[in-house]
Structure 1
Amino acid sequence: MGWRGILGFEYGIVQAPLGPDISGPELVAAVANAGGLGLLRAPDWESPDYLRELIRKTRTLTDKPFGVGVVLAFPHKENIKAILDEKVAVLQISWGECSQELLLEARRAGVKVVLQVGSFEEAKRAVDAGVDAIIVQGLEAGGHVIGQEGLIALLPRVVDLVGDQDIPVIAAGGIVDARGYVAGLALGAQGVCLGTRFVATSESYAHPTYKRKLIEADQTEYTNVFGRARWPGAPHRVLQTPFFNQWRSLPLHENEANQPVIGRSTIHGVEKEIRQFAGTVPNLTTTGDIESMALYAGEGVGLIEEILPAGEVVRGLVEGAQHLIHNKFSGA
């Protein structure tokens, strides 16, 4: 596939559904306008009317197709109904099984279903179900990570599993630049999915302090310190901030439920308190002790040196991949 598209998009570049509301209409539209697949993030609670507004606002900013990501671990039936009613191009789902009923409903609506997996077993179930594409997430990824395997070992196994079936495989986890893009292609993927790199863009809804820390930091850790009460059994990769390093050995019986409030935020239109050790990532509305909040990031964060427009990130990935493939690996 080289640097060509997947699922009808111009390029094989996917902007992950950054949550809970970091990938808003502005970011998604910018990625779509540059030829990539941008993904909104559905609220982690039923809010179909609000989600319709997000989709429709995005359509005022781009005439290109885009998608919406849904975490199946949270209430989602009405949200998915809204997505299918709006006939977005792609429904991306994670942290759950893709049912035949959902696939049939999506196909009737003309919506492609992309499932994110973190293990070979999950990938096999996805192939058997007949999803339209699979995102293979390695342990290197930022945010909530469902699997335990590194991308370089897991990805080729899934590619071999898919074989000649028409199910594109998309690599995710620690990819931030053209070298990672080409590496994913070399391992058999037809595209790449980036999260942290798109958090660090002009259009992302992340708090400026969060973006600054992504530029300054180069160390991450896979942990379960944040959000234990709200989402148990959901480990994640975060920046090693001074706050995290102080509390990295938080006793297992502790969680955010009885902790002090360290900030406030408006998330998908709902005002929320943020308690210490909550899994809430700071957005533009967040106030309080930002550096003590969950700052999700993948292992490739040390390669991010500046905040860029999302379209420039997409173009840099494509042009860089073209250069590497033509000038370093073509044998010319």
Structure 2
Amino acid sequence: MGWKGILGFEYGIVQGPLGPDIAGPELVAAVANAGGLGLLRTPDWESPDYVKELIRKTRKLTDKPFGVGVVLAFPHKENVKAILEEKVAVLQLYWGECSKELVIEAHNAGVKVVPQVGSLEEAKKAINVGVDAIIVQGREAGGHVIGQEGLISLLPRVVDLVGDHGIPVIAAGGIVDARGYVAALALGAKGICMGTRFLATHESYAHPTYKRKLIEYDKTEYTDVFGRARWPGAPHRVLQTPFFCDWKCLNAQENETNQPIIGRTIIHGVEREIRRFAGTVPNPTTTGDIESMVMYAGQSVGLIKEILPAGQVVKKLVEAAQFLIRQTFNPDSI
């Protein structure tokens, strides 16, 4: 069945490496224990000892394999070295070119490499350097969005491109339930990667107000208002909160550097000030004007009706997908 066997994991369900620290050991371990692939997220600065600590904390919570996500747009070489030394199951890469040298280095350490791409051109490069799987992100996705195409058009093209290379393709962007899962399988994916659905779980390290907004709001928008100075040229999809709606036409010359401080937080053990229009999502340590902070979410957020344990999300998704395939797509009913 399509939900089995991806990269050796029990189910083809991947929990995206929610940043900057929302995908912590508790969330990743819960997903891993349920049979999915959980992904930690490294800091956006070099901190190899801390990365090793995150990995070891996760291993205390699960004896199942898991991975770590790295954003290549930020300093990362020492963090990647730490990940390979710890020999996690998967190194997930995003927003930068995955080199042949890095793939070889990872494979020598027994680590599989899975880049996330947003275009056919990126997928071609990934195939050529010998990656182990490819996450295809559609424009429907929450958070930072690297491509411009919708998932339903991009995914089958990448599947066709992969052909008989034996590289599993994983669908990401706007998938939160069994219908999206089955649709991705029908388009040729071997699994799915979800961010927003796992953001709305008990174990995610998001601020309670943020989680509540994911249930309250059902509209998102593709924008570049937040984090322009910290991560230029990185558009993103966010909830249409009242604050965002008031400021979504922000002058293109403005960014967070000259804005007032609206809160404080601790991210990966480091205390930070949060300025208005910063791209930093609130976690449980965050204080200040939470309602005016960025809240990333994918287009299908309106389908999320409750905050659940992450393991239950995996279980319900698999069971519902199996039922949907048997009942709706039974050959006798065609």
The equivalences for 1:220-239 within 5 A come to 220-239=220-239
Q: 1:48 aligns to what?
A: 48
Q: Is the 8 A contact 1:11 1:36 kept in 2?
A: yes
Q: Which amino acid letter does the alignment assign opposite residue 320 of structure 2?
A: G
Note the C-alpha offset of 1:84: 0.1
Q: 1:114 aligns to what?
A: 114
Q: Which amino acid letter does the alignment assign opposite residue 90 of structure 1?
A: V
Partner of 1:84: helix, strand, or coil? helix
Note the C-alpha offset of 1:254: 0.2
Q: Is the 8 A contact 1:5 1:191 kept in 2?
A: no
Q: Is the 8 A contact 1:222 1:238 kept in 2?
A: yes
The equivalences for 1:19-98 within 5 A come to 19-98=19-98
The question of 1:146 aligning with 2:146 is answered yes
The equivalences for 1:271-286 within 5 A come to 271-286=271-286
Q: CA separation in 2, counterparts of 1:175 and 1:326?
A: 20
Note the C-alpha offset of 1:100: 1.1
Q: 1:181 aligns to what?
A: 181
- Percent of counterpart pairs with the same letter? 80
Q: CA separation in 2, counterparts of 1:6 and 1:271?
A: 38
Q: 2:257 aligns to what?
A: 257
Q: 1:136 aligns to what?
A: 136
Note the C-alpha offset of 1:5: 2.8
Q: 1:198 aligns to what?
A: 198
Note the C-alpha offset of 1:331: 1.9
Q: Which amino acid letter does the alignment assign opposite residue 83 of structure 2?
A: I
Q: What is the root-mean-square deviation in Å for CA atoms of aligned residues?
A: 0.6
Moved over 4 A (4+): none
Q: CA separation in 2, counterparts of 1:323 and 1:240?
A: 34
Q: 2:209 aligns to what?
A: 209
Partner of 1:301: helix, strand, or coil? helix
Q: 1:248 aligns to what?
A: 248
Note the C-alpha offset of 1:278: 0.2
Q: Structure 1, residues 66-102: CA drift from partner, whole Å, max 9, x if none?
A: 0000000000000000000000000000000111110
Q: 2:157 aligns to what?
A: 157
Partner of 2:8: helix, strand, or coil? coil
TM normalised by structure 1 equals 0.99
Q: Which amino acid letter does the alignment assign opposite residue 57 of structure 1?
A: K
Q: Which amino acid letter does the alignment assign opposite residue 199 of structure 1?
A: L
Deviates more, 1:32-41 or 1:1-10: 1-10
Note the C-alpha offset of 1:51: 0.6
Q: CA separation in 2, counterparts of 1:244 and 1:110?
A: 44
Count the aligned residue pairs.
Answer: 332
The question of 1:308 aligning with 2:308 is answered yes
Partner of 1:215: helix, strand, or coil? helix
Deviates more, 1:64-73 or 1:123-132: 123-132
Q: CA separation in 2, counterparts of 1:8 and 1:198?
A: 21
Q: Which amino acid letter does the alignment assign opposite residue 21 of structure 1?
A: D
Note the C-alpha offset of 1:184: 0.3
The question of 1:125 aligning with 2:145 is answered no
Q: Which amino acid letter does the alignment assign opposite residue 246 of structure 2?
A: Q
Q: CA separation in 1, counterparts of 2:327 and 2:163?
A: 29
Q: Which amino acid letter does the alignment assign opposite residue 234 of structure 1?
A: A
Q: CA separation in 2, counterparts of 1:303 and 1:160?
A: 30
Partner of 2:331: helix, strand, or coil? coil
Q: 1:168 aligns to what?
A: 168
Note the C-alpha offset of 1:45: 0.3
Q: Structure 1, residues 258-299: CA drift from partner, whole Å, max 9, x if none?
A: 000000000000000000000001111111111111100000
Q: CA separation in 2, counterparts of 1:53 and 1:318?
A: 31
Q: CA separation in 2, counterparts of 1:82 and 1:248?
A: 39
TM normalised by structure 2 equals 0.99
Note the C-alpha offset of 1:129: 1.1
Q: CA separation in 1, counterparts of 2:25 and 2:239?
A: 26
Q: Which amino acid letter does the alignment assign opposite residue 128 of structure 1?
A: N
Q: Which amino acid letter does the alignment assign opposite residue 114 of structure 1?
A: V
Q: Is the 8 A contact 1:42 1:51 kept in 2?
A: yes
Note the C-alpha offset of 1:166: 1.1
Q: CA separation in 1, counterparts of 2:192 and 2:147?
A: 17
